[in-house]
Amino acid sequence: MSVLVTGGAGFIGSHTAVVLLDHGEDIVILDNFSNSSPDMLDGIRRITGKDFKFYEGDMRDKALLDRVFTENKIESVIHFAGLKAVGESVEKPLEYYDNNINGTLCILEAMRKYGCKIMIFSSSATVYGNDNPVPFVEGMKTSATNPYGWTKVFIEHILEGVCESDKEFSAVLLRYFNPIGAHKSGLIGEKPNGIPNNIMPYIMKVAAGEYDHLNVFGDDYDTPDGTGVRDYIHVVDLANGHLSALEYARKNKGAEAVNLGTGKGTSVLELVAAVEKASDRKIPYVITARRPGDIAECYADVSKAKRVLNWQAQYDVDDMCADNARWALKQ
């Protein structure tokens, strides 16, 4: 029996593939390389010394899904594939709804057709919207402020509906906070196309001398140093969380939303200082206006992950910055 990893060539999927293979799971990866490259698959093989089946193609290609499900015995799906740039989703809402929602429906239809009843889904802290108080707790009302966020909210509802209609189905909706870091080997990590939207890849380009400074989006928030606070989580911790979720889903039916974060907030300026320490490079920055849509603080209540999945993050921000720098500065 195999675990199908959609989007397994991507940032979080590749790290999860390593954890699964190291744990003795058989995996099959499906990816269309729309935001990744084959090097990631080589990295997974080099780190683990193991091979796996790979299908290049789009998750909306039903004939391809038929091949994946008939050529393999797929027991469960860890579903990372999706588009994830918030700003781009505002410009191209139809592409985001089609890729993320329609893509998920295609996977779920194939799962139904072939009797596969476990899905671990990549949701996001973005589903907490912009008017819940921190820390974010799973029972809070969900909403979104952009098409990307709505795809996560809608897919969570779709999976709840599937579990309601099929009492044998298990869905774990993992709400990631801010994943950064890279595998210790330096062989896999985040490789965004174009100008990065997220802070860590941007800081890394400043550290590498590609950009001369970081723009810090606002220093007038109601936070200790005025800059935005986020719950950064090491991608390897996140990857381990998927294995815990899979083990949970094998024993429990129904839909369960779980936060994956550290529960600790770090400000933009604290993150800059941690990267400077880890990389021994100066990160020049300029304070600019707030970025529209940003919230002051975002961090998780992590008690449910501990209680339900028996999982908690192990790495701190210094570890995340050191591992991220090792990867990004050799690119």
Rounded least distance, CB 331 to ligand UFG, Å: 18
Interaction residues for ligand NAD, span 77-116 (CB under 6 A): 80-84, 99, 103
Residue 7 contact among ligand UFG, ligand NAD, none, beta carbon within 5 to 8 Å by kind: ligand NAD
Does 145 bind ligand UFG (CB under 6 A)? Our answer is no
Residue 196: phi and psi, rounded to 5, are: -65, 140
Residues ≥6 apart with Cβ < 8 Å to 148: 83, 84, 85, 86, 88, 89, 96, 100, 126
* CB-CB contact of 237 with 315 (8 Å): yes
* CB-CB contact of 247 with 285 (8 Å): no
Residue 32 contact among ligand NAD, ligand UFG, none, beta carbon within 5 to 8 Å by kind: ligand NAD
Interaction residues for ligand NAD, span 277-306 (CB under 6 A): none
Compose the 83-122 pattern: x for residues touching ligand UFG by CB under 6 A, - for all others.
-x-x------------------------------------
Residue 273: phi and psi, rounded to 5, are: -65, -40
Nearer to ligand UFG, 178 or 240 (CB): 178
Interaction residues for ligand UFG, span 59-88 (CB under 6 A): 84, 86
Helix or strand holding residue 178 (H, E) = strand 178-180
From 148, 202, 232, 248, active-site residue? 148
Nearest of 134, 157, 297 to residue 227 by alpha carbon: 297
Distances (CA, A) of 77 to 28, 68, 245, 250: 9, 12, 11, 12
- With contacts defined by CB under 6 A, name the span among 25-33, 276-284, 288-296, 302-310 that binds ligand NAD: 25-33
Residue 228 contact among ligand NAD, ligand UFG, none, beta carbon within 5 to 8 Å by kind: ligand UFG
Q: 10 Å Cβ neighbour count for 76? A: 22
Nearer to ligand UFG, 26 or 219 (CB): 219
Helix or strand holding residue 68 (H, E) = helix 62-71
Nearest of 166, 182, 142, 203 to residue 40 by alpha carbon: 182
Token pair, residue 279, equals: 């990389």
Cα separation, 124 vs 83, in Å, equals 13
- With contacts defined by CB under 6 A, name the span among 26-34, 132-140, 163-171, 226-234 that binds ligand NAD: 26-34
For the four alpha carbons of 86, 90, 95 and 97, in that order, the dihedral sign comes to: positive
Say whether 148 is catalytic.
yes
Cα separation, 114 vs 58, in Å, equals 19
Does 268 bind ligand UFG (CB under 6 A)? Our answer is yes
Distances (CA, A) of 311 to 14, 178, 308, 315: 20, 17, 8, 13
- With contacts defined by CB under 6 A, name the span among 73-81, 159-167, 176-184, 186-194 that binds ligand UFG: 176-184
Residues 22, 58, 88, 219: which binds ligand NAD (CB under 6 A)?
58
Residue recorded with tokens 């080589």: 42
Residue 197 contact among ligand UFG, ligand NAD, none, beta carbon within 5 to 8 Å by kind: ligand UFG
* CB-CB contact of 180 with 326 (8 Å): no
Does 242 bind ligand UFG (CB under 6 A)? Our answer is no
The binding site for ligand NAD (CB under 6 A) comprises: 7, 9-13, 30-36, 58-60, 80-84, 99, 103, 122, 124, 176, 179
Query: Which residues lie near ligand UFG (CB under 6 A)?
Result: 84, 86, 124-126, 176-178, 197-199, 202, 214-217, 228, 230, 268, 291, 294, 298
Supply the residues annotated as catalytic: 148
